[in-house]
Chain A
């Protein structure tokens, strides 16, 4: 018993770590895709902006939490400017928006490299580690998993219980009708894109102390983000958290037993199976279940 307990704990910690990573990677993308129908291929670079903002202001002497806020603010402003200048013209043009955001992503990666060089000094991970048996886990990473849960809760509240949330959802469901009822839909799109950007920035800010800060760092979030959104389906909150649970569990089990490579394979195989069996993702499955009862 004594030897099995740390193993189980290991699996659990890896599961919530993995869940946090998937949810935080995907949430900004999910909001922009789910609410606005824009596939933001520059999502990874939004995360990078958050991380750069955090790292630069941290090295300029700000305390880490403040530096993270700066990172989030910077990404939000950046997202709003992009929405206002480029994305706004691409609503309803799915393929065009993909090409445009991909271009933005390429420009940003090389732009960051030209301006800041090929790497920024890292930020040491704060908070130390927790010990259990012969194992230990970074406390900060557990905090990240907690942050993803809090974030899901906050978003649920924003989109169900606030005036903004109601108007935003109305805009998604029927743009003309909500305009007729007095909602400034352009403003709704702008704000939604801003929130999506802020969330991507937050992901970058939160992960900045655990990673090497380089111009291409966003790409490591991108696969997980897309996989989570695809498996989750159209509903932002239910889909993202459901996909996070499923994929996080599978990733944790396989990488714990057979190593990182197996974990990744399992993640992608699961995604293929889900797309094949449930084309509308977990959202679709839940809707069917709800429809039957």
Chain B
């Protein structure tokens, strides 16, 4: 993999250093013309190069490739569309996307490389929360503008990080109310055993307290487990009204098939399945029958705006299997970044961060209108409650715009990133967790 990207980088370094000399040597030649325009447009550039450099870290191999490849495809589509329309402020986007291989250590190496050696103007990506937390210190240390486009457990309040995926208060609150009304108050949680699963499970406890529901039991399952016989028995023993599954990755996905085979029938709720890993298409029905998930996007959303996006996506990537929630996030976030740079008139990261902090920006995304929240660096999403039926057909209900309200609640967590705009010395980089649950 290293061998793949090294030549590219040295190529780019050449381009960057050559124009000035070539301008003199071959002023009339085609290369000279190229170098001349490049020289002009680099005036406002943060890294002083002829293209806008966008670093993208998405897993194209390893445990998270199933979703990582979707995200990579969607972002590439957005970049190509923008470049075809003349780029951002006339600058073409150069997308540098080495493969972190679902490996946190690779994430750190590559983040360092993109920031320090490639001098990217903006960094995108990361799938698992553990990979985001692996690179966030590097991002902060280098004052690097970073967009994390995943749905996640929430709570990141960071001057340099924008989280454009949905967070628990958006996905859980509305869904849980509906489910307790429909099925009863007692639920059972099984969750992946790392920061995402632990914190999201805490969120379920918090919301359950607020609406008077009851968490019967929680089980946290290591990511490499793929056999669920004992888990299924324990659920049967507890006999919950519904089951919350916060399972991550392809090993955990085996749960649904095994649950179905063992005859356990119970309504389910999740924040992650279907909308990311398209389990409803990959698994034989009725493995996911009666699965409810609060989503900000699925490719099945029947609006014209979305049909149009889905058509363009499959036209560009005919072999793709699905375009899910995170992929859509990567897509609209690229356009969000474009708007911010155009408003700032420069790719200078400090200026772009300032523009993002000054006032909300709205983007027309495939899901509908998405608006940024400068105080918390999250976004207001159009949330729908999706349900899979016996034959895995998806229906949507209760569409509503939900703000990311929790982080700015006072006194805790009290996140307000507008107090300082752009880079600053006393910057905030905390990830808050729900307290007292």
Q: Across the interface, name the chain A residue whose C-beta is closest to B258.
A: A210
Give residues of chain B (26-75) contacting chain A, Cβ–Cβ below 8 Å.
61-63, 65-66, 69
Specify which of B236, B250, B262 is in contact with A212 (CB 8 Å cutoff).
B250
Decide if B257 touches A141 in the complex (CB within 8 Å): no
- A169 touches B (CB below 8 Å): no
Q: Which of A113, A122, A140, A264 has the most CB of B within 10 A?
A: A122
A-B contact pairs, 29 of them (CB 8 A): A17-B227, A18-B227, A109-B61, A117-B321, A118-B66, A121-B284, A122-B283, A125-B258, A125-B261, A134-B237, A136-B236, A136-B262, A136-B264, A137-B233, A138-B229, A141-B261, A210-B257, A210-B261, A220-B224, A220-B226, A256-B230, A256-B233, A256-B234, A259-B220, A259-B231, A260-B230, A261-B219, A261-B221, A263-B230
A134/B239 contact (C-beta < 8 A), A110-B61, A261-B222 known: yes
Decide if B229 touches A212 in the complex (CB within 8 Å): no
Residues of A within 8 A of B (CB): 10, 13-14, 17-18, 21, 109-110, 113, 117-119, 121-125, 127-129, 131, 134-138, 140-141, 209-212, 214, 216-217, 219-220, 223, 252, 255-256, 259-261, 263-264
Specify which of B226, B231, B233, B284 is in contact with A124 (CB 8 Å cutoff).
B284
Decide if A119 touches B237 in the complex (CB within 8 Å): no
Alpha-carbon distance A216/B224, docked complex (angstroms): 11
Decide if B222 touches A131 in the complex (CB within 8 Å): no
Q: Across the interface, name the chain A residue whose C-beta is closest to B251.
A: A220
- B253 touches A (CB below 8 Å): yes
With contacts A17-B229, A210-B257, A212-B254 known, what are 11 further pairs, Cβ within 8 A? Answer: A109-B61, A118-B69, A122-B287, A124-B260, A136-B263, A137-B262, A138-B262, A140-B261, A141-B258, A259-B221, A260-B225
User: Which residues of chain B are within 8 angstroms of A125 by Cβ–Cβ distance?
Assistant: 257-258, 260-261
Decide if B61 touches A264 in the complex (CB within 8 Å): no
Alpha-carbon distance A136/B266, docked complex (angstroms): 13
A18/B282 contact (C-beta < 8 A), A125-B261, A129-B261, A134-B236 known: no
Specify which of B220, B226, B228 is in contact with A217 (CB 8 Å cutoff).
B226
Decide if B233 touches A135 in the complex (CB within 8 Å): yes
Give residues of chain B (251-280) contacting chain A, Cβ–Cβ below 8 Å.
251, 253-254, 257-258, 260-264
Decide if A211 touches B282 in the complex (CB within 8 Å): no
Alpha-carbon distance A256/B237, docked complex (angstroms): 11
Alpha-carbon distance A252/B254, docked complex (angstroms): 19
Decide if B229 touches A141 in the complex (CB within 8 Å): yes
Specify which of B220, B237, B258 is in contact with A138 (CB 8 Å cutoff).
B258
Q: Tell me the smallest distance from the CB of A228 to a CB of chain B, in Å.
A: 14
Chain A binding site: helix, strand, loop or mixed by DSSP? helix
A211/B62 contact (C-beta < 8 A), A217-B226, A220-B224, A255-B230 known: no
Decide if A122 touches B284 in the complex (CB within 8 Å): yes
- B193 touches A (CB below 8 Å): yes
A212/B237 contact (C-beta < 8 A), A260-B219, A260-B225, A260-B231 known: no
User: Which residues of chain B are within 8 angstroms of A256 by Cβ–Cβ distance?
Assistant: 230, 233-234
- B181 touches A (CB below 8 Å): no
Alpha-carbon distance A129/B61, docked complex (angstroms): 36
Q: Across the interface, name the chain A residue whose C-beta is closest to B101.
A: A110
Decide if A123 touches B284 in the complex (CB within 8 Å): yes
Q: Across the interface, name the chain A residue whose C-beta is closest to B221.
A: A260
- B426 touches A (CB below 8 Å): no
Contact with A along B311-331 (1 / 0, CB 8 A): 000000001010000000000
Q: Tell me the smallest distance from the CB of B192 to a CB of chain A, in Å.
A: 11
Decide if B224 touches A119 in the complex (CB within 8 Å): no
Alpha-carbon distance A14/B234, docked complex (angstroms): 11
Specify which of B193, B224, B236 is in contact with A223 (CB 8 Å cutoff).
B224
Decide if A264 touches B222 in the complex (CB within 8 Å): yes
Alpha-carbon distance A257/B257, docked complex (angstroms): 23
Alpha-carbon distance A219/B253, docked complex (angstroms): 14
Decide if A259 touches B65 in the complex (CB within 8 Å): no
User: Which residues of chain B are within 8 angstroms of A223 by Cβ–Cβ distance?
Assistant: 224
Specify which of A109, A122, A216 is in contact with B282 (CB 8 Å cutoff).
A122
Decide if A212 touches B230 in the complex (CB within 8 Å): no
A113/B61 contact (C-beta < 8 A), A118-B66, A123-B284, A210-B258 known: yes
Alpha-carbon distance A260/B27, docked complex (angstroms): 70
User: Which residues of chain A are within 8 angstroms of B62 by Cβ–Cβ distance?
Assistant: 216
User: Which residues of chain B are within 8 angstroms of A127 by Cβ–Cβ distance?
Assistant: 261
Decide if B65 touches A113 in the complex (CB within 8 Å): yes
Q: Across the interface, name the chain A residue whose C-beta is closest to B321.
A: A117
Alpha-carbon distance A260/B234, docked complex (angstroms): 10
Decide if A210 touches B230 in the complex (CB within 8 Å): no
Specify which of A118, A122, A124, A259 is in contact with B230 (CB 8 Å cutoff).
A259
Decide if B257 touches A122 in the complex (CB within 8 Å): yes
Give residues of chain B (409-433) contacting chain A, Cβ–Cβ below 8 Å.
none
